[in-house]
Structure 1
Amino acid sequence: MRVLSQVIRTGRADLSFDGLRSEFSLPSSFPAEVLAEAEAAVSRSPGDRPDLTALPLVTIDPPGAKDLDQALCVERSGDGFVVHYAIADLGLFVTPGGPLDLEVRRRGQTIYLPDGNVPLHPTALSEGAASLLPGVVRPAVLWTFTCGADGIPSDVEARRALVRSTAQFDYATVQVSFDAGDPHPSVAALAEFGPLRRAHALSRGAIELQLPEQEIEQDGTGWKLVTRPRTAVDSWNAEISLMTGMAAASIMLEARVGILRTLPDPDAAAVASLRRSAAALDVKWPADLSPGAFLAGLDPATPEALALFTDATRLLRGAGYTAFNGSVPEVVTHAGVAAPYTHVTAPLRRLVDRFATEVCLAVTAGEELPSWLAEALPQLPSLMGSSDSLASKVDRAATDQVEAWVLAGRAGQEFDAVVLRAGDDEAEVFVAEPPILAKCAGERLPEGERIRVRLVEADPVERKVRFAGPV
């Protein structure tokens, strides 16, 4: 696996992201009454729930993560599979209508910054009593999927339980174990189950864009930008979460109550535009192949694929949240998933997951939704829409800031780049080293081609980077 990076090493003390916290009015702490409620909730009894701590669950998260939402165990069972997926049970700790509940509704989700996050919940819960940390008993909502040899669930169960994660892994470590032929027993079957689920996704028409993801990491006294290819383990693990979200959506739709993550199907014009781009780049796209299957067959390391993935972002516009109670909404699917889908697997980090989980638990238990839950559902689309927008803006601003820091003082230097999207007098380019996504001045630059560009400006104050090319 190749990791591209550019490191800033400096003794300056001002390479922090406090300016972004101020600019976006991010809270620096929780109100005293919220902290008090969270501390009191730490010792709350989980009540009468089955003890399933014998399940050999493990977690797979980024290195150093403490807010662990999910733990899993994938087992072979005859010709099929049994998947256990434990999700942090925030419903135990948050009292509806209390100070903590009101505060997390205001926040919407955890905002991540390179030098520290702005958590959705106080860390006494998100990194402590509610987190599925290894070696400790935790309350959880356990999803159990009994699947056939084809990887399709024949039975789904969701229930509150006590669980205990046996180990905490990160994606790279688990991938290395698979590559070495020695995966942990709790995830060994992922190598069979994950590809089955991915094949089902492609057959449904699911769309996945394999654009390079910029990540910011600390390096001594400075920061570095890296891009990491998505590993097989990333993809397999994501399929478990998607399967759970699809099962939860099915439960809601059958009961005619809940909240879905929706995305309209791509319009014909967007698909036609992508086909024209493929033809212009001389990339063959059979007429009977769906956009998702076509994109999945591209080599993400090629410049043509990078350009097409960028063009394909037009296929995935209009995502939102749709709450309903009593009747099924007109749009119930998510085009990226190519199925009805909802969020239930990250309640430590995202507000809507706690409410969606409570809907599923009530429905599967044959109970009416409590009034606080029914009243909250119509409010969630707006709350999540606002927090999604804020999180996206903060993430982009942080990346822009580091790009400008990395390139400061290098105006006039030349770099290798790939043209991702062309305009009449400006294009979007990806510079591989350091990994930068930026605007590039130039008349109708050819999409999908490698060019040399010259850095025109890198302004850390304005968080602006501009190139010109080709040179």
Structure 2
Amino acid sequence: MPRRHIHVTGAAEAPLRAALRALRTELAIPEDFPPAVLAEAEAAAKNPRLPSYDATDIPFFTIDPPTSTDLDQAMHLARRADGGYRVHYAIADVAAFVTPGGALDAEAHRRVLTLYFPDGRVPLHPPVLSEGAASLLPGDPRPALLWRIDLDADGQRVATDVRRALVRSRAKLDYEGVQRRIEDGTAEEPLALLRDIGRLREALEAGRGGISLNVPEQEIVETDHTYSLAYRAPLPADAWNAQISLLTGMAAADLMTAAGTGILRTLPTAPDGAVARLRRSARALGVDWPHHVSYADVVRSADPTNPRHAAFLQECTSLLRGAGYTVFTDGHVPSPAVHAAVADEYTHCTAPLRRLVDRYAGELCVAAVAGDEPPEWVRAALPALPDEMATGARRANTVERESVDIVEAALLKERVGEIFDAYVIDVKEREPAVGTVHLEDPAVVARIEGGTAKLPLGEWLRVRLSEADPGTAKVLFAPA
């Protein structure tokens, strides 16, 4: 789970851009694809391995941010005659384009993940595939892994199938448009059911003790030729859409565990110390957290449109550290194999254009449903995947952390010496004059030091911006 989502619009200031370019260089981010990889991708885009099963009669739609073109998932939702629901979920079939052992495959293993910078992304696959031939853009047929998941009237899964199929998306929708159409009653049933199914799945999640973090996105806002940071709260449609992906990841985990070969996404339960620290942050931000209320329940009650709650949700991501991947090949699933936030066995399988492991999980599920042994190229790659994904995740986390710091420093660099209102959300045990403060306006979380008195954890404090340097990605406050 990322520390913070951040989105930059219009902030083309030289220090910010220069600092982001320097970060790419420092981290040796492979922005350009080698000629052999591009040539293989171009050839694959023109001649993919197409499935025989035709499902182009199903009117799929996608839900993504308006500017997204790397579309991994398309869905169609329907009612069943028995009062339940049928979810058709098409996932881009990257294996239809990537030849195991080829240059394109090797480059994907080198990159592991699509990396997101405030001013753009560095893709896992060449854009001719990730934003073209393999993306589930509306119009032309595309090869996909087609999931069919049947639910009962309460949203419980009762049947699962996945196979290769040719699909065709009819519409590219965005979250705000989906939310508006559902709320005003203009959504047709396949879209309107997103709310019904999403709410049922959210209730089931709460019942098993799971939790989804609707973390607000940090945005740069331009006002009167100056820039500031604010939070954009996610919409309910974001969460309903995420429930379809979670449903599929849980179904995939069940298929793999039953077949005896697979790769699970795992997360240990947060230690008591981490929960205690989060309680201090809640108190500092004015978030009501009675002692008898669980972490999951207080997160569900948080309002992401409230700036203090938004900051609390950002801090909640600290409890999701330690996630990894667990491989099993002999029928014995290691314990524990549960993802603590999902509160069930779960795997990543719905974003193969942006995440390497999903291609392998998809292949394992297709083989499991067909009663076949997994392809040898999948078996051969499994042992190394957890380490590869861990390396990619560390790189992605560094990109995100450093990018946020750079953006904050660039936007605050002309305000050094100004005084702000802040809340002390953390204090170092051995250095009680050093800690972390959260500013409500602008939406900044940064280090504070330089005072002599113990910082008042959980209390309001006037702070002075003492340093903001995009070149070093450093923002520092001192007590005022």
Provide TM-score, normalisation by structure 2: 0.89
2:377 to 360, 372, 377: 372
Q: 1: CA distance between counterparts of 2:203 and 2:191?
A: 19
Query: How far off its partner does 1:394 sit?
Result: 0.8
**Contact preservation (8 Å) 1:404, 1:459:** yes
Say whether 1:466 aligns with 2:476: yes
Equivalent position amino acid for 1:138 in 2: R
Unaligned runs of at least 5 residues, structure 2: 1-5
Say whether 1:363 aligns with 2:373: no
Q: 1: CA distance between counterparts of 2:304 and 2:71?
A: 30
Moved more, 160-169 or 275-284: 275-284
Query: How far off its partner does 1:413 sit?
Result: 1.1
Q: 2: CA distance between counterparts of 1:207 and 1:14?
A: 35
Residue of structure 2 in register with 1:440 after alignment: 448
Say whether 1:418 aligns with 2:423: yes
Q: Deviations over 1:330-361 (max 9, x none)?
A: 22111111111100000000000001100111
Is the alpha carbon distance of 1:123 and 1:407 closer, same or farther for their aligned partners in structure 2, counting shifts above 3 Å? same
Residue of structure 1 in register with 2:156 after alignment: 152
2:326 to 287, 302, 322: 322
Residue of structure 1 in register with 2:129 after alignment: 125
Residue of structure 2 in register with 1:75 after alignment: 78
Query: How far off its partner does 1:385 sit?
Result: 0.3
Q: 2: CA distance between counterparts of 1:102 and 1:221?
A: 45
Mapping for residues 21-40 of structure 1, pairs under 5 Å? 21-40=24-43
Q: 1: CA distance between counterparts of 2:225 and 2:38?
A: 32
Unaligned runs of at least 5 residues, structure 1: none
Query: How far off its partner does 1:21 sit?
Result: 1.4
Say whether 1:454 aligns with 2:456: no
**Contact preservation (8 Å) 1:7, 1:225:** no
Residue of structure 2 in register with 1:162 after alignment: 166
Q: Deviations over 1:198-256 (max 9, x none)?
A: 11111111134455432458999997644211210011001110110011011111112
**Contact preservation (8 Å) 1:7, 1:223:** no
Query: How far off its partner does 1:46 sit?
Result: 3.6
Mapping for residues 260-339 of structure 1, pairs under 5 Å? 260-271=264-275, 283-285=288-290, 287=292, 289-300=293-304, 305=309, 309=313, 312-326=316-330, 327-339=332-344
Q: 1: CA distance between counterparts of 2:57 and 2:254?
A: 29
Q: Secondary structure at the match of 1:181?
A: coil
Query: How far off its partner does 1:163 sit?
Result: 0.9
Is the alpha carbon distance of 1:253 and 1:211 closer, same or farther for their aligned partners in structure 2, counting shifts above 3 Å? same
Q: Deviations over 1:28-75 (max 9, x none)?
A: 311111111111111225444221112121111112111000111222
Q: 2: CA distance between counterparts of 1:462 and 1:420?
A: 24
Query: How far off its partner does 1:132 sit?
Result: 0.3
Query: How far off its partner does 1:312 sit?
Result: 4.3
Q: 1: CA distance between counterparts of 2:45 and 2:421?
A: 53
Q: Deviations over 1:391-415 (max 9, x none)?
A: 1101111111111110112111122
Query: How far off its partner does 1:317 sit?
Result: 2.8
How many residues of Structure 1 are paired with residues of Structure 2 in the alignment?
Answer: 466
Q: Secondary structure at the match of 1:172?
A: helix
Query: How far off its partner does 1:134 sit?
Result: 1.0
Is the alpha carbon distance of 1:409 and 1:308 closer, same or farther for their aligned partners in structure 2, counting shifts above 3 Å? closer
Say whether 1:90 aligns with 2:98: no
Q: 1: CA distance between counterparts of 2:313 and 2:11?
A: 33
Query: How far off its partner does 1:106 sit?
Result: 0.6
What is the RMSD of the two structures over their aligned residues, measured on CA atoms?
A: 2.9
Q: 1: CA distance between counterparts of 2:167 and 2:287?
A: 53
Q: Deviations over 1:431-463 (max 9, x none)?
A: 233222211235444444444322111112111
1:189 to 193, 200, 206: 193
Residue of structure 2 in register with 1:172 after alignment: 176
Percent sequence identity is 47
Q: 2: CA distance between counterparts of 1:10 and 1:312?
A: 31
Q: 2: CA distance between counterparts of 1:218 and 1:87?
A: 37
Equivalent position amino acid for 1:433 in 2: D
Residue of structure 2 in register with 1:345 after alignment: 350
Moved more, 305-314 or 71-80: 305-314
Is the alpha carbon distance of 1:71 and 1:8 closer, same or farther for their aligned partners in structure 2, counting shifts above 3 Å? closer
Query: How far off its partner does 1:18 sit?
Result: 1.7
1:431 to 417, 420, 439: 439
2:401 to 396, 409, 413: 396
Q: 1: CA distance between counterparts of 2:133 and 2:287?
A: 55
Is the alpha carbon distance of 1:178 and 1:363 closer, same or farther for their aligned partners in structure 2, counting shifts above 3 Å? same
Equivalent position amino acid for 1:126 in 2: S
Q: 2: CA distance between counterparts of 1:37 and 1:223?
A: 43
Residue of structure 1 in register with 2:61 after alignment: 58
Moved more, 308-317 or 159-168: 308-317
**Contact preservation (8 Å) 2:50, 2:96:** no
Is the alpha carbon distance of 1:244 and 1:421 closer, same or farther for their aligned partners in structure 2, counting shifts above 3 Å? same
**Contact preservation (8 Å) 1:245, 1:341:** yes
